[in-house]
Structure 1
Amino acid sequence: MTVTGIITAIIIGAIIGLLGRLFAPGKQNISIVVTIIVGIIAALLGTAIWNAIQNSGADTPGIDWIELIIQIVLAVIGVSIAARVLGNRRRV
């Protein structure tokens, strides 16, 4: 992966993570860094799942909406889990 690919993954992951946080129910007491990490993981997993479902490996022209929806759903799940695990910790 090139530097441009890494920067793109971080940017897309941040957007996916923020969308996941927006659609997750309740208040999430997690940092923006955790949100971005969850978004990056959701973006990568969503792409892998869509490529497995699609099974052709061919790129579609334009935005692949189904892949994006899968990524956002995974981000909502990930943000909810992270908020439950990390959000209840008290700082001393």
Structure 2
Amino acid sequence: VVPALIGVCRPGSELVLLVKPQFEVGRRDVSKGKGIISDPELHQAACDGVRESCENAGATVNQIISSPITGAEGNQEFLLYATVREKMSV
């Protein structure tokens, strides 16, 4: 999703993305039946994965913070703030 989103943005566009770790980590890492991610290392891995996707697609990640609002089931979610870079000419 991130590459497609960044692909339609103009350079300088600012994005705020909601990172939902339960959808970013592997199925085996989600607690059985509840979909809750409580391991801080998995939170970090989810944020790192979305950061890498943004950077590879042409955006600079400025900040990632914990969302002040948890998900419906109590999952900690994160807000990622990024800026789309100038397109590189080949």
Shorter chain as denominator, the TM-score bin is 0.3 to 0.5
Structure (1/2) with the larger strand percentage:
2
TM-score normalised over the length of structure 1: 0.36
Structure (1/2) with the larger helix percentage:
1
